[in-house]
Amino acid sequence: MSDIKKIYDDMWNNSICRFKENQYETDPLINSTEDNRRGLTVLSYLSPDTGEKIGGFLDELRSIEPLQYYYPENELHLTVLSIITCQQGFTLSDIDAPAYAGVFADAVKDLPPFTIKYTGITASSSCILIQGFPESGQLNVLRSRLRDGFKKAALPTSIDLRYKISTAHTTAVRFRREVHNSEKFIKILYKYRNFDFGTVTIDKLELVFNNWYQNLSHTKQLSHCELRKIQ
């Protein structure tokens, strides 16, 4: 827990300094028809009640910066592991999708549900994140089983290629263009820095083919699993 908090705190301190200098990294491909970045991800969607609380936070930001990209409540998710990081031109025909689904199913079977407490926000230069704190070691177990399963199967992946994921954050905002009301925007960020967004029980996992923003309209489920309590 303390390691995750330090990661979030470091991200916040670095980013808020940049924001105060009006330095935001924007993504010109958001909603572009030319964006054909696709990948494979193991994820779980957040519960409606936590999504609603996050939505309230996003509504406040949207009221002063309406042109940024705000994740719809039903698309808010926890990325368990990126199996193939989104890359230009990647299609399902490039891989043996059933083989990936089989590895996923083997890795997640017999795992019990686990909980993530969402408290406060942090940021990177390009996005605003909701801080997630696992309340057990189950997320690490799950990630290890997925890493081991895909390694043994010798299927092409890009697991941990960009960085080794260790947090449980949820991306909520991406910068689409310059922030015009930076002072007010930052004030709202501080307001929610330690806000309690609730606790989510992760009891459903999906392996999906997705675009960079995890838009449901571009998401294809390849496999899913419901986690059940061990009797």
The CATH number covering residue 154 comes to 3.90.1140.10
49 in any annotated domain: yes
Distance CA 95, CA 105 (A): 17
Range of the domain at 71: 2-224
Mean pLDDT, the chain, as a whole number?
A: 94
pLDDT band at residue 228 using 50, 70 and 90 as cut-offs: confident
DSSP state of 113: P
Query: For position 68, what pLDDT does the model report?
Result: 96
Note every long-range contact of 178-187, with CB atoms under 8 Å and residues 24 or more positions apart, other chains counting.
178/22, 178/24, 178/26, 179/19, 179/22, 179/24, 179/65, 179/68, 180/65, 181/64, 181/65, 182/19, 182/20, 182/22, 184/64, 185/19, 185/61, 185/64, 185/65, 186/16, 186/19, 186/20
Query: For position 21, what pLDDT does the model report?
Result: 95
Residues 193-209 pLDDT 10s: 999 999 999 999 999 99
229 in any annotated domain: no
Please count the structural domains in the chain: 1
| Cα-only R_g, the chain | 18
65 in any annotated domain: yes
Residues 70-87 pLDDT 10s: 999 999 999 999 999 999
Residues 1-36 pLDDT 10s: 569 999 999 999 999 999 999 999 999 888 888 899
231 in any annotated domain: no
pTM above 0.85, yes or no: yes
